[in-house]
Structure 1
């Protein structure tokens, strides 16, 4: 029978599982990375893994959320009013975020490694719902800043977050969109989304 872990040990092991998961998922891909290999690198028994995560999919999802937070933080403090053209600044941020997504191996693996279907089947609805709510909440500071400057945003944060997710997912389907027109299509969608969501009061 394995001994229990105190809170400090639990945190250390959780962090180690996340770190080793990130390394192995990036190097080998989701499908080829085994729980055994992750736990071996951490120095715990394979069965102990399930004291911390319900599945390999859940660990991968947690790592993806952390990658997403890094992307959000990267642009959270950008002064969108610096040049008195907030729409232009937001479009620039979206383009940079898309570039980050296009080059992030963990996010690319999720879509191109056929991991999405497996992950969604094994994640609890509560976990996904929490993720979507966090996405919506992350837009609240930006919405408040714009409203305080006299801009009108009628759609609720959940819809705005859904639109953003839809845009990012499209970046992973270049072939279906058409490689020749992909870049122009994304540029036009960014213009339509930002200009459609953010309106100047009185216009």
Structure 2
């Protein structure tokens, strides 16, 4: 017989599921996180999980949606800076700092297969709900720089966003640079910023 939860219990259980998932997905990933591990802290049966989420992938999406505005606040204020070398450098450093500080989004960058799995399960239109928080402001910032004549206009702003994301690879592999990590990151970001400008 299915357990009937009160509205308050539903809210509390959903909150615990999302918080537990955020930690487990960041540390061990989607595949290695079991349903048992997710429902344990919420003190519900495995079957009751589906009263809250259709799948682990739907829960993963919920974590992404919850985290996106928090992550965005770390760098969107930087997008008010002028679109010049220093402005681009500041924005790229803010994005790099997010990757250093946020294990969930760092894992997304280092394990793109997980995002592919979630996308296949929940659909691209659901994943697109994250863009207004993270991608759209950055695309608009770069497009404004192109309209003002500061940023090269022969490369689409969306491609320039991917160029910026490439700097994240240095963050992901910072252990390979040892004590030179910060210098390599700074030089890469500065070079990318200069390359994007007219």
State if a TM-score over 0.5 links the two structures. Answer: yes
Tell me the CA shift for residue 183 of structure 1.
Answer: 3.2
> Gapped runs of 5+ residues in structure 1?
none
After the TM superposition, which of the residue ranges 100-109 and 2-11 deviates more from structure 2? Answer: 2-11
Aligned to 1:21: 21
Aligned to 1:41: 41
After the TM superposition, which of the residue ranges 89-98 and 102-111 deviates more from structure 2? Answer: 102-111
> Measured at CA, do residues 166 and 111 of structure 1 come closer, stay the same or move farther in structure 2, by a change above 3 Å?
closer
Q: TM-score, normalised by structure 2?
A: 0.68
Deviation by residue 1:114-172 (Cα, 9 ceiling, x = unmatched): x6545634541626862785554232442355356553442323212222222213321
Aligned residues: 192
Residue 80 in 1 paired to residue 81 in 2?
Answer: yes
SS at match of 1:19: helix
More helix by share: 2
Distance 1:70 1:130 in 2: 17
> Measured at CA, do residues 139 and 8 of structure 1 come closer, stay the same or move farther in structure 2, by a change above 3 Å?
farther
Alpha carbons 2:60, 2:118 under 8 Å: kept: no
Aligned to 1:191: 190
Tell me the CA shift for residue 14 of structure 1.
Answer: 3.6
Deviation by residue 1:20-58 (Cα, 9 ceiling, x = unmatched): 3224556x6447643223223224321232344344355
Alpha carbons 2:64, 2:130 under 8 Å: kept: no
Q: TM-score, normalised by structure 1?
A: 0.67
> Measured at CA, do residues 127 and 47 of structure 1 come closer, stay the same or move farther in structure 2, by a change above 3 Å?
farther
